[in-house]
Structure 1
Amino acid sequence: MNVQSVSNAYQCLLQGNYNQAAMLYEQAISTEPELKTPYWYLGLVLLLQGQVAEAQTTWLMGMVEGEPAQVELWTEELRAILIQEATRRESLDEPAIALSIRQQLAEICPNDINNNLRLIELAIEQQTYTGDELTELGIIDSIGEQRDAVDLDQLMSTLKKILQYAPLHPPSLELAEACVAYAQTIEQASALINILQKAAIETAYIKKCTPMGVSLAELALRLDPQNREILYHLAALYTLAGEYPQGIETAKLCHSLSHEVPDIIFANYLQLKALLTAGGTYWQQAYPINEQQQLLLKSLVEEPATQPTHLQISRLFNANSFVPYLEDQPQAYCEIRNRIAQLCQTAVQLEDQQTVGRYKERHEKRRQLGNLTKPLKIGYLSYCFRSHSVGWLARWVFQHHNRERFDLYGYFVICDPPNDPLHLWYVNQIPNVFKSNSYREIAEQIYQDEIDILIDLDSITLDTSCLVVARKPAPVQVSWLGWDASGIPAIDYFLGDPYILPESAQEYYTEKIWRLPHTYIAVDGFEVNVPTLRRDQLDIPSDAVIYFSSQRGFKRHPDTARLQMQILKEVPNSYFLIKGGADEEAIEAFFKELAEAEGVESDRLRFLPGVFSEATHRANLGIADVVLDTYPYNGATTTLETLWMGVPLVTRVGEQFAARNSYTMMMNAGITEGIAWTDEEYVEWGIRLGKDELLRQQIVWKLRKSRQTSPLWNAKQFTRDLEDAYEQMWQRYLNASFSNFP
């Protein structure tokens, strides 16, 4: 067969004329059977036609009579041809064909580590990757044995895609560990650190698998033990994973390595988060750190030495968010919060003046042309569209929204948890869903969607959401539900009610407090499973009085916990059930020390583990006679659950938003018994409700009756009130001068 015929056959292959190409290659084999190249190409043509068995047979026929050295040479020729065609198909954006070719190559040359790595990438692109391929192809062993053969760029690319696609599969971590040996230079180490750090964050916060996130971050730290960014993330991840001592020590190390004021502030924030979340005996360490934090924040807003970087700004938004857990001084707290928020927003808007200016210009044009005849576009921004307190509470609004009056949009931030029914519910319930981890992408999408009113459900609990609202992508922006107000000037309104904030609060809030007529939150109810707690299981007599408290460690202020011990002391035959995420040893030691100091036997305390589902937790509330609320940070979702289950509650009312949640919920459920305005009243109500069984029964009856009459349990009416507020906000915006809105 001459050179021209071979060329013609290959041209037919390139053109997709496989029958003609096969005929020409068969002729070549018939004419010159000692030439092997036609066998290789004929097999390739058959493979491209979907005839896998025939292709393998053809290749085998070409090699069957060869000596070992010849077979090795011919195999390399075949390998080169298959790689060339696979690469060509990839360049043509035909990954399925490239995958098929590389799968055959993996059988012919099982030790070709670079082909196997690329094969994994193609399987991921085709969404056929299961995670078992790493083991089946022997990739991890090959990486250790074939150091000189591995294409480092290909290895890093494959690792990155595996950690994005299947980080939870055990071999994924094994591959990451094997890759550490390849980081021989500063540049290589830096590239691998970036891959591992990003994967750690996404795995922990998006996939909701914190232990794997911790493992990946620890791997990155091995490459650079004093890398401050890794340590920042690792401190937060340890705390999130419940590894509190490691979180505290890592946060302290971050502090020692931080030198600029914004970085020291962030390191202090990490320490406070770890200490207060651990709770109990760790609390005392938090006070001096908080004092330093207040001084640093004041110095930053009064005498900024240099302009903070973008990363530093993103971390400043919530740098002071733990103060409400420590004290109830909202005026002083809000002053610092507002000034920090102003500093951050100014920096964000200066960073991209053109985009922010474009948004503002569009808003003004829309205001001039606006009317109320079209459905308002309402956008909801949150990372909590999932199994989360905010997710459970906000769902009723989406269920009852009037779809004729409002077009709904959902902007899901860092939110794609696997196997989460509530997340899937939101995805199906909201007609227009946009998911992204980029604040720029989210803000631009909000702008492109021409959202009229943007509702931020996160407040300062997430930096990404802060960065979005600070750019003002929607003409009217509102904070609701997720936390207290943020103080970000771009937020126009903060949704409240007649009780959640005192009238004087407007003096120190930058947002206009929009008070809904009854309550700032309502639900139609909660799902309840079969309880798993019994008195006899806890060795508690049937006639005993059971006090109950279920809160995270950062809500258990020592002063309030001491009041709870005083209540217990004055009520004979009473027990206290304590539950909530915290360091178990620290919480137990903390309460036992307080009990001893107040003269209460420690065997009257019971420490309960968490349960798998929220519905089971609610059912278990039925064991309680009285729930004792926390202060200065009340329960919120836990209070709603308590009232729904018909359990009397004792709460201490304060001045700040966080100290009035239970107050507004009780008022809207028609219950005043148990509302205390001082520490003394808190103890008095706790004792009275413990001793007066008839009063408890009356409250239980009132709570059960309230399910049919209370604004707290009428989410449909609440949604109508909320929608009326939206329309009034929009009308006010249209009527107002752009320069002085709101």
Structure 2
Amino acid sequence: MTGEKSPADLTNWQQQAYQYLIQEDYREAANLYEQQLEAEPDIRSHYWHLGLLLLLQEQETEAQTTWMLAMAEATPEQVELATTELLQVLQTEAERREALADYSVAWAIRQHIREINPSDINNLLHLLRLSIELDTLTREDFTSLGLIQMLQSGEATGVNPDLMLEVLRSILDYAPHEPLSIEFTEACLSYVHESQALLDVLLSASIKIGYSMKLFALAAHIANLALSLNAKNQEVLRHLATFYQNAGQYDEGIETARLCYSLMQTLPDKIFANHLILRGLMSAGGYWEEAVAAFGQHESLLLSLIKENPLPLDQTPTLRLFTPSFFFPYFKDDPRSNRSIQNGVVQVCQSNVHLYAKEQAEQYHKRSLLNLRNVPTKPLKIGYLSHCLKTHSVGWLARWIFQHHDQQRFEVNAYLVNYQPYINDPLEEKLIEQVNKAHKLGIDGLAIAEQIYQDEIDILIDLDSITLDISCEVMALKPAPVQVTWLGWDASGLPAIDYFIADPYVLPESAQDYYSEKIWRLPQTYIAVDGFEVAVPTLRRDHLDIPNDAVIYFSAQRGFKRHRDTARLQMKILKEVPDSYFLIKGLSDQESIKIFFNQIAEEEGVNSDRLRFLPEVGLESIHRANLGIADVVLDTYPYNGATTTLETLWMGIPLVTRVGEQFAARNSYTMLMNVGVTEGIAWTDEEYVEWGVRLGKEAALRQKIAWRLKQSRQTSPLWNAKQFTREMEKAYEQMWAKYLESR
């Protein structure tokens, strides 16, 4: 028998058979080969093609019989050659099917290749990739391939590194949480010699797993695999530090951030790396002295940046400069200084955005200059931009405005940044149902801005401020004529933002002196809700070994807000109220927080046995129910509670808050004023302690406040989201009227 002819040697009948094949007329193609076999029974390639055509007609037994017939009287050497020829025919057709995205047929053909040559590592890789494409891959299928064992044993030869990278990328995208995927990833490391390409695949996967899927520990593990290829890769170290911190591995996160900082050369890179150090220390919550030192360094770096005003910067370093001033209000209540630095930094960022996205920015600017005075009356198009319109504090609070918006007067669009369709979030889905259109977007700020521009949004409301660099980039481009910041944090300071929503209490009159945005004060409150869902409590005094007649103080804030000076005031209160206990709860490093509070308690002469450290609970509704154990909630300063304060007041619990000058230090103040309760409002540290002691000792006063808080549910603007929405809508209409007048 002879081998297969080259394509150039194909006869007319073979060309016709091939046409039948691509037309999927397998029967006619098989007839041609059967006829030719009668004339040329010694041409081996006829058997390979005929068997393939029978296989495509799902006649597997007949196909195998045909192939075996061609090898019946062959010597071992001839069998080896014939097998190679057969595999080549099958391989060619499998590749053709893959190019056509006919994955099910390609998979079936490759299964036969596997039967003939089970050690073909590249075919196994193809099978894995095809199972992913077909969405049929199971753990059992993955195991049965034997790929991992073959790679681990070192027996795999002739591996196509490009194919391996493609499959690795696919499996990490398809099933990153599956242990076999990670085991496969680790087994691949020694087979891909282009380390940068492999590092890029691993880093890209870790970024998606960490930031989109929120699987931080897994993202850190994969980033560490990337780091094994280049121990000093700055990009990997940046993300790894964040993954560690988000996973609660604070010590590792801090040390990784410090290593990252030591490798940085440029000022923007140093700023972001120092921000990561600060983020780790603040998230842990108990490293106060180290955090203060890092903050001092951070302030110096940012002032240098403002002075140098580096232009131009590429997109990535620009984006990273939007967020590093985030921690300023957590350290000091000095809005003039804090806002000056904040405004200066984002001005640098916006200038660079307008350089690397020049055409886009200019296009949007032209629209804002149009004379729109004669535009016919139409519903105002309002856009809300955020990555937090889901189960998140912003989502819980903003949901009411979506529910109460007047659909006749306003067309409401939601721009969901970093939307993840595979995460079932009922609050997010509810919000999507309540808007005219919800755009489920990724993390490309330029594309998001273009979507907003194409939708011809009139007023764009940013709910993220500087908590997300992507939202900052969008707002810097100004895709809408009027842009507003509300709810998510303090104002960003971007020159492209026109207004910052506030109220008569949350910012003093002098605040306009240090805000670049125009402060738009609503008549009563800058936020209102119709209430909160409350579940069955899981916390009891006897579980905590606390007597029934003891006074319980409570504080539920994450590590960011644990300022040493405020913690000291809280211990002074505890010392003055006999038989009192302090419950401390919030996302942080539990061990460092215990050391932090125990040390201050010892310094103030308070027995640490009076402190209780509570774990997080699974649902916000349970957290709210558990607030009922508290007699008094002690607020944080210089960064107050916001959502936590609303929850406290809704549950009817007295609150002690220290009022400051900055927005973050006046949240609880405005909320108390709007429920008609002034007891607990302190303007100095001494008053904070006095109110804490008085409320701890006077049960009748606590009961009076609790009753008034319960009554406020029927009267307070804080619990009237419909009225609040009307006030917001009135503000939007007035903002738009001012814009039209200015044109």
Q: TM-score band (shorter)? A: over 0.9
What is residue 322 of structure 1 aligned with on the other side?
Answer: 327
Query: Does residue 514 of the first structure (1) align with residue 535 of the second (2)?
Result: no
SS at match of 2:163: helix
Matched to 1:438, the amino acid is D
1:219 deviates by: 0.8
Matched to 1:192, the amino acid is L
1:38 deviates by: 3.6
Q: Give the fraction of aligned pairs with identical amino acids, expressed as a percent.
A: 58
RMSD: 2.3
Matched to 2:637, the amino acid is Y
Distance 1:390 1:246 in 2: 29
Matched to 2:567, the amino acid is A
Question: Would the aligned equivalents of 1:506 and 1:513 in 2 still touch at CA under 8 Å?
Answer: yes
Distance 1:307 1:551 in 2: 39
Distance 2:374 2:138 in 1: 53
CA-to-aligned-CA distance 1:94-149 (integer Å, 9 cap, x gap): 34443443344344433322223233333333333446543231222333435541
CA-to-aligned-CA distance 1:212-264 (integer Å, 9 cap, x gap): 11001111111111111211111111111111111111111122112222222
Distance 2:93 2:140 in 1: 26
Distance 1:31 1:684 in 2: 108
What is residue 101 of structure 1 aligned with on the other side?
Answer: 109
Distance 2:499 2:77 in 1: 79
Matched to 1:173, the amino acid is I
- Residues 702 and 252 of structure 1, relative CA distance in 2, 3 Å threshold: same
Larger mean Cα displacement after TM superposition, 258-267 or 505-514: 258-267
Distance 1:499 1:644 in 2: 19
Matched to 2:196, the amino acid is S
What is residue 184 of structure 2 aligned with on the other side?
Answer: 175
Distance 1:211 1:257 in 2: 24
Distance 2:627 2:60 in 1: 63
Query: Does residue 252 of the first structure (1) align with residue 289 of the second (2)?
Result: no
Query: Does residue 156 of the first structure (1) align with residue 165 of the second (2)?
Result: yes
Distance 1:31 1:77 in 2: 21
What is residue 425 of structure 1 aligned with on the other side?
Answer: 430
Query: Does residue 504 of the first structure (1) align with residue 510 of the second (2)?
Result: yes
SS at match of 2:737: helix
1:685 deviates by: 1.0
1:517 deviates by: 2.1
SS at match of 2:190: helix
1:17 deviates by: 2.1
CA-to-aligned-CA distance 1:78-98 (integer Å, 9 cap, x gap): 322222122223333434443
What is residue 672 of structure 1 aligned with on the other side?
Answer: 678
When the two structures are superposed, what TM-score results if normalisation uses the length of structure 2? Answer: 0.94
- Residues 58 and 707 of structure 1, relative CA distance in 2, 3 Å threshold: farther
> Counterparts of 1:584-595 in structure 2 under 5 Å?
584-595=590-601
- Residues 63 and 620 of structure 1, relative CA distance in 2, 3 Å threshold: farther
Distance 2:541 2:387 in 1: 38
Query: Does residue 550 of the first structure (1) align with residue 559 of the second (2)?
Result: no
Question: Would the aligned equivalents of 1:633 and 1:658 in 2 still touch at CA under 8 Å?
Answer: yes
What is residue 9 of structure 1 aligned with on the other side?
Answer: 17
- Candidates 119, 132, 139, aligned match of 1:124: 132
Distance 1:395 1:242 in 2: 29
Distance 1:563 1:432 in 2: 46
Larger mean Cα displacement after TM superposition, 85-94 or 561-570: 85-94
Larger mean Cα displacement after TM superposition, 322-331 or 81-90: 81-90
- Residues 106 and 364 of structure 1, relative CA distance in 2, 3 Å threshold: farther
Larger mean Cα displacement after TM superposition, 596-605 or 665-674: 665-674
Distance 1:22 1:682 in 2: 91
SS at match of 2:441: strand
- Residues 590 and 12 of structure 1, relative CA distance in 2, 3 Å threshold: same
SS at match of 2:581: strand
Distance 2:642 2:495 in 1: 26
CA-to-aligned-CA distance 1:571-602 (integer Å, 9 cap, x gap): 11111111111111111111111111111111
- Residues 197 and 704 of structure 1, relative CA distance in 2, 3 Å threshold: same
What is residue 200 of structure 2 aligned with on the other side?
Answer: 194
- Residues 519 and 24 of structure 1, relative CA distance in 2, 3 Å threshold: same
- Residues 182 and 534 of structure 1, relative CA distance in 2, 3 Å threshold: same
Distance 2:583 2:380 in 1: 48
Query: Does residue 344 of the first structure (1) align with residue 349 of the second (2)?
Result: yes
Question: Would the aligned equivalents of 2:309 and 2:348 in 1 still touch at CA under 8 Å?
Answer: no
Matched to 2:327, the amino acid is F
Mind listing any 5+ residue stretches in structure 2 that lack a counterpart?
A: 2-9
Distance 1:56 1:123 in 2: 24
What is residue 682 of structure 1 aligned with on the other side?
Answer: 688
- Residues 710 and 150 of structure 1, relative CA distance in 2, 3 Å threshold: same
Question: Would the aligned equivalents of 2:389 and 2:395 in 1 still touch at CA under 8 Å?
Answer: yes
CA-to-aligned-CA distance 1:356-389 (integer Å, 9 cap, x gap): 1111113333735634x22222222111133221
SS at match of 1:707: helix
Matched to 2:398, the amino acid is A
Distance 1:473 1:55 in 2: 62
Query: Does residue 610 of the first structure (1) align with residue 616 of the second (2)?
Result: yes
1:72 deviates by: 4.1
Question: Would the aligned equivalents of 1:384 and 1:415 in 2 still touch at CA under 8 Å?
Answer: no
What is residue 223 of structure 2 aligned with on the other side?
Answer: 217
Distance 1:459 1:269 in 2: 17
Distance 1:612 1:709 in 2: 32
Distance 1:364 1:631 in 2: 43
When the two structures are superposed, what TM-score results if normalisation uses the length of structure 1? Answer: 0.94
Question: Would the aligned equivalents of 1:131 and 1:166 in 2 still touch at CA under 8 Å?
Answer: no
- Residues 491 and 54 of structure 1, relative CA distance in 2, 3 Å threshold: farther
1:207 deviates by: 0.5
Query: Does residue 332 of the first structure (1) align with residue 340 of the second (2)?
Result: no
Q: How many residues align?
A: 732
Distance 1:64 1:499 in 2: 93
Mind listing any 5+ residue stretches in structure 1 that lack a counterpart?
A: 738-742
Question: Would the aligned equivalents of 2:71 and 2:79 in 1 still touch at CA under 8 Å?
Answer: yes
What is residue 88 of structure 1 aligned with on the other side?
Answer: 96
Distance 1:3 1:692 in 2: 103
What is residue 276 of structure 1 aligned with on the other side?
Answer: 282
Question: Would the aligned equivalents of 1:163 and 1:172 in 2 still touch at CA under 8 Å?
Answer: yes
